[in-house]
Amino acid sequence: MSESDSNDQNPSDDDGSGQNDSTHRRKPNELQMRAGKLSVEAKSVDESVAELADIVSDEMESLMRYHIRGEMEMLEEQDLHSILLSDD
């Protein structure tokens, strides 16, 4: 076996074009955001960390709004129950 044979790429890494697709070997960018009990995670080989941050922050904002609406509804129900059950 020649030295050049030992440096050949693995056929499974080749997409058939004769060129190695580096996206298969790159480590993905990872990002995690937390706010209270909420958490959003993202991984991507194609997106930069800044692009992931934009995507994740939009998703986090949506989740926070949904969570806050749910908490407000629970508080309103508690207030309504206390009004209905009061002896005034």
Residue 81 in this model has a pLDDT that exceeds 50: yes
At 5 the pLDDT is 47
Give pLDDT tens digits for 6-25. 444 444 444 444 455 555 56
Supply the range of the domain harboring residue 79.
Answer: 3-85
pTM: predicted TM-score of the whole model, two decimal places? 0.52
**In the chain, how many domains are there?**
1
At 72 the pLDDT is 92
3-class DSSP string for the chain: CCHHHHCCCCHHHECCCCCECHHHCCCCEEEEEEECCEEEEEEECCCCHHHHHHHHHHHHHHHHHHHHHHHHHHHHHHHHHHHHHCCC
Give pLDDT tens digits for 28-55. 999 999 888 888 899 999 999 999 999 9
